[in-house]
Amino acid sequence: MGGISTPGILALTEMTQRLDVDHDNARYLAQQLAEVPGIEVDTEDVHINMVWFALPDGVDVPRLMRAFEAAGIRANGAYGGKMRLVTHWQIDREAIDRTVAVIRIVVVG
């Protein structure tokens, strides 16, 4: 027995209608990250709802992850000095600003 689950149907019928919002938010996220000293992000290479960026050498990644957790931000850790953040229907500009503020505190001090 196969088929598409309710979340799958919701994703195909409703969430595709807001992809432009997710993509706009990803571009906003990239722009905000680019303003953090030491963060490297190619703001011209954000075409979907994912933003990849490089952390400066020496960033205490476990501290960053603890700071994310304390702020209620879910993210995967850095891999090879890079991180990826994803925008979606639960992520608005306020959440992006909060995320960037946490990164700024840990990276810049």
For the record, the structure tokens of 57 come out as: 């050498």
Work out the number of other CB atoms within 10 angstroms of the CB of residue 89. 13
Say what angle helices 93-108 and 19-34 make with each other, to 10 degrees: 20
Higher pLDDT, 49 or 99: 99
Q: How much is the pTM?
A: 0.82
User: What are the φ/ψ torsions at residue 83 (nearest 5 degrees)?
Assistant: -125, 160
pLDDT at site 78? 87
Q: Are residues 107 and 55 in contact, defined by beta-carbon separation less than 8 angstroms? A: yes
pLDDT at site 81? 81
pLDDT tens figures, 23-78: 899 999 999 999 999 999 999 999 888 999 999 999 999 999 999 999 999 999 88
pLDDT band at 22 (very low <50, low <70, confident <90, very high): confident
The CA distance from 104 to 13, in Å, is 37
Which residues, other chains included, contact 16 with Cβ-Cβ below 8 Å and sequence gap of 6+?
none
